[in-house]
Amino acid sequence: MTTASPDCYCVMGNPIAHSLSPHIHTQFAQLTGQAMAYDRLLAPLDGFAATAQAFFAEGGRGCNITVPFKLEAARLADETSERVQLAGACNTLVRRADGRLFGDNTDGLGLMADITQGAGWALAGQRVLLIGAGGAGAGVLGPLLAERPAEVVVANRTVATAEDLVARHGPLSARLGVPLGACGLAGAPLAQAFDVVLNASSSSLAGAASPVAASVIGPRTLVVDLMYGQAARAFLDWAAAHGAHTRDGLGMLVEQAAEAFALWRGVRPPTAPVLQALRAQAG
């Protein structure tokens, strides 16, 4: 009697040793009874496409993509979701039965799930500030608009980058009836408080407290950093000192992984026990 080998998945990036994805997906597989193996795969900075193609040629079924390869992953896919087309970035690849690669971006879906379900914070009718118009910000803007907030402002150090991101999402925002604007990090729209502030900028990687003034925070503002752990600490400490409710990106990490898992396996895993265990490990 022989036992079939588990389906193979991975997370690909550079660096990659720090990734929690193998732990998360292993827990998902156990909770849902799925036969799958999941590992980290380091891709050379100049060899992402070749590494990914080799992985799939050897039987890989799906792959998560992390920095700095999300833009390249979008170009590598044979077909992409509307989320990838709007963001220009892909964090999930799946090999179809015909061998073609389908690319999706689950980051925004994960963030919205963590805010609305994990934090229990409704986004509909809220004024939202999105700080950062790079890959992280681009990945969450579409799903954010789908929550139908009252308004979204994208603030970025380079205003032209924010304006380009807003322009790409213009038809979607118009279709949903959600006002969408762009400004610099000291723009006039930031003079008053927002209901929700999302930090998708690179400031946390540099350990900076905040790229914007405290005027964006009111007594009932929810502030979320897309980073987690020590990387998010300075920004969230700054926000808490100004009276905000704060949340890091660990829940987003787990929820976006669940979206990828569902795309691959057709089963959406429970996220609460996995997130609870990760927070307990982090102390």
Active site residues: 70
Q: Hey, which bits of the chain come out as E strands? A: 7-13, 36-42, 62-65, 79-80, 92-95, 101-104, 127-131, 151-155, 180-183, 194-199, 217-225, 245-247
**248 labeled part of a ligand binding site:** no
**21 labeled part of a ligand binding site:** yes
Q: Name which of 176, 114, 168, 171 is nearest 151 in CA terms.
A: 176
**82 labeled part of a ligand binding site:** yes
Tell me how many degrees the CA angle 30-279-149 measures, rounded to the nearest 5: 95
**62 labeled part of a ligand binding site:** no
**228 labeled part of a ligand binding site:** yes
Cβ atoms of 36 and 6 within 8 Å: the answer is: yes
**132 labeled part of a ligand binding site:** yes
**91 labeled part of a ligand binding site:** yes
Six token digits for residue 10: 């991975």
**20 labeled part of a ligand binding site:** yes
Cβ atoms of 276 and 250 within 8 Å: the answer is: no
Beta bridge partners of 198: 130, 224
Annotated binding-site residue numbers for NADP(+): 82, 132-136, 226, 249
Annotated binding-site residue numbers: 19-21, 66, 82, 91, 107, 132-136, 226, 228, 249, 256
Annotated binding-site residue numbers for shikimate: 19-21, 66, 91, 107, 228, 256
